[in-house]
Amino acid sequence: MLRRGILVDVTKCVGCGECVAGCQKANGQPSHTPKGFDEQSYTFLMDRGGDVHVRRLCMHCQQPTCASVCPVGALKKTPGGPVTYDADKCMGCRYCLMACPFGVPSYEWRSARPRVQKCQMCSGRGSKGPACAEACPAEATVTGDRDALIAEARRRLKAEPKKYHPHIYGLTEAGGTAVLYIGPRDAA
């Protein structure tokens, strides 16, 4: 079974925002430039100075604390990789907001029927995978089997050790995540 993951190669990101636009379109969100996570923003770009842009999104933890604290099972880790949310089960306790080590889930505070909002790795798109990866013209965000992405990240690090910081973020952080990052040596 495919355990979907996402590899973000910060060295390839040009800061164009197509990943953000693709996410907004796939999730029926209004077009805007997000500054952080909120009920209308599942991903955003952080400008780290120079030509370094880092995309933030749900890390889809291997053992998600958001799901472990949910008393009704509204959040769950799927065998295929994504951490998904079922609004019909949610009772609005917002424990997931406090539990996430990455500050990802948001809450629709102004809604009459509020829900938790977060990236679900476009789990409804099936084999097409996440819209953010499909939209990225620089292939800074790619998707596929997590193990294959780890192998690809290791290959890149080995092939260009002067370019990359020698670490794959997400292998062990927070118990491992489905979203992995590799980045430039000088920005680490």
pLDDT at residue 49 in the model: 83
- Asked whether 119 and 42 are in contact (CB, 8 A), the reply is yes
Give this prediction's pTM.
0.94
What's the pLDDT tens digit per position in 49-86? 888 999 999 999 999 999 999 999 999 999 999 999 99
Q: What angle do CA 43, 47, 50 make, to 5 degrees?
A: 150
Q: What is the pLDDT of residues 117-176, one digit of tens each?
A: 999 999 989 888 999 999 999 999 999 999 999 999 999 999 999 999 999 999 999 999
Determine the Cα–Cα distance for residues 42 and 29; give it in Å rounded to an integer. 10
Q: Is the pLDDT of residue 188 over 60?
A: no
Task: Tell me what the mean pLDDT of segment 14-43 comes to.
Answer: 94
Residue 71, Cβ neighbours under 10 Å: how many? Answer: 9
